[in-house]
Amino acid sequence: MLRGVRVKLDPTPRQERMLRSHAGAARFAYNTMLGMVKDALDGKIEGFGWSRAELRRIWNACKVRVAPWYADNSKEAYSYGVECLASALRNWSDSKKGRRKGRKTGFPKFKSRNRHMKFAYTTGSFGLVRDDPKALKLPRIGRVHCFEDVEKRVGVGRVIRMTVSCVAGCWYASLCVEYPDPAGLGKTGGGTVGIDLGVKTLATLSDGAVVENPKHYRRNERKLRRAGKRLSRRVKGSNRWKRAKLAVQKQHSRIASQRRDTIGKATTMIARTYGHVVIEDLNVEGMKHDHCLARAVSDAAFGEFRRQLEYKCSDTGTVLTVADRWYPSSKTCSRCGTVKAKLSLAERVFVCDNPDCEYAREGVDRDWNAAKNLEHYVAGSAPGDGKRAPRSRKTTSPLEVGNAGTVETRTKQPGGA
């Protein structure tokens, strides 16, 4: 199985110049070959294939003429640029012919030096350095110091690919590590839990646990606004403009790191604690079309939450079930099974339409009710027919929560939300 390990590099000034040179080489190969593809489409030159092997063959044939300085950088940098172009052309072609899911992919565009600083190693002597746990070997660049113990993070795995990128002025190495497949992986106990994702609370669990939504973008929005205003007042291309732009990038990077840390801790806790996890299949892209929710949904990062939960459940042996997208988990009463006809987003307290149901008199927290329905969801069942376990005691619902990841559960009270 393959896993990713991302570490921050600490290059010297000379090494940083070489890293930028390699990223520029990858971008130059991409733009050069894209220009030749466009010339072939316009009939200016003879046509050729768009496969990775064909593009690399043409690049090797013309690199001495178009890039006489090509020997200053590793050949892997140019190969990465050609690989990216082949992938972009394939995605465009598949999207045009209807063989690719998702939104339509446009024809590749030329890359700018202000946005694309990345290259990769796939062959050659690269990766860990023996007897030097805090270093990585990059061909043509040499030993580059790292801020953390790479050898400890990689463990028994084998590095098969290394992608080097620059984010907000900092250089990172993303290692694709191959590990042996786990044998007989399985978990006993832990119970079943349903998880309802939301904006008010990031995740509400059916056992009462609540992961608060820190709303990192909203909390740092004022800093972003001030940094963007400072950037807009600078002359584009000047040194002060570059420093102001770097400040904006660092602020965005900090928000992304905080969001990734919150989701990482929550998904790790869930995967290690429970034996069976049930989540809902959300249409995140459709939710972003609502201008009132788009920013909050993007800040919550539901897709990243599910992505991390999938591979962590696979690692720990936890069974992950994804409920059908049209399963009415929020509209269904977890006590009697009655399905409401309508339930607006503003209604945070679920009140059952069945007058004989206890929840018709007292109500229950909307998110917890949905999580409870997901806990007893059976894949393949009809909407509203979620299987429910018999209850021998009074249901409890979360009424008050503390910090992110901590829970306080109390017995349901009349009118509780």
Tokens of 97: 């012919």
Instruction: Kindly report, residue by residue over 170-192, the tens digit of the pLDDT.
Output: 999 999 999 888 766 667 677 88
Under a CB-based contact definition with an 8 Å cutoff, are residues 284 and 302 in contact? Answer: yes
Instruction: Kindly report, residue by residue over 278-308, the tens digit of the pLDDT.
Output: 999 988 888 888 888 899 999 999 999 999 9
Tokens of 372: 């409870």
Per-residue pLDDT, averaged over 319-346, amounts to: 86
Under a CB-based contact definition with an 8 Å cutoff, are residues 177 and 154 in contact? Answer: yes
**Please, what is the Cα angle at 15 between 11 and 20, to 5 degrees?**
105
Per-residue pLDDT, averaged over 203-212, amounts to: 91
Is a pLDDT exceeding 70 seen at residue 388? no
Query: Rounded distance, CA 267 to CA 203, Å?
Result: 10
Query: Rounded distance, CA 26 to CA 38, Å?
Result: 19
Tokens of 251: 């602020």
Identify the sign of the CA torsion 37, 43, 45, 49.
positive
Per-residue pLDDT, averaged over 205-229, amounts to: 93
Q: What is the mean pLDDT of the chain?
A: 86
Residue 378's pLDDT is 63
Residue that has been written with the tokens 């009655």 in this structure: 338
Q: Facing residues of 409 across strands?
A: 398
| Number of alpha carbons in the 13 Å side-chain half-sphere of residue 243 | 4
Residue 327's pLDDT is 87
Under a CB-based contact definition with an 8 Å cutoff, are residues 77 and 138 in contact? Answer: no
How buried is residue 356: exposed, middle or buried, by Cβ count under 10 Å (0-12/13-18/19+)? exposed
The rounded Cα 407 to chain-centroid distance in angstroms is 26
Is a pLDDT exceeding 90 seen at residue 218? yes
Task: Describe the crossing of helices 52-66 and 13-41 by its angle, rounded to 10 degrees.
Answer: 110
Under a CB-based contact definition with an 8 Å cutoff, are residues 49 and 33 in contact? Answer: no
Residue 184's pLDDT is 60
Tokens of 291: 């201008």
The rounded Cα 390 to chain-centroid distance in angstroms is 38
pLDDT-above-90 percentage for the chain: 61
Residue 188's pLDDT is 65
The rounded Cα 299 to chain-centroid distance in angstroms is 12
Query: Rounded distance, CA 206 to CA 277, Å?
Result: 10
What pTM does this model have? 0.81
The rounded Cα 48 to chain-centroid distance in angstroms is 36
Is a pLDDT exceeding 60 seen at residue 385? no
Per-residue pLDDT, averaged over 318-331, amounts to: 89
Under a CB-based contact definition with an 8 Å cutoff, are residues 194 and 388 in contact? Answer: no
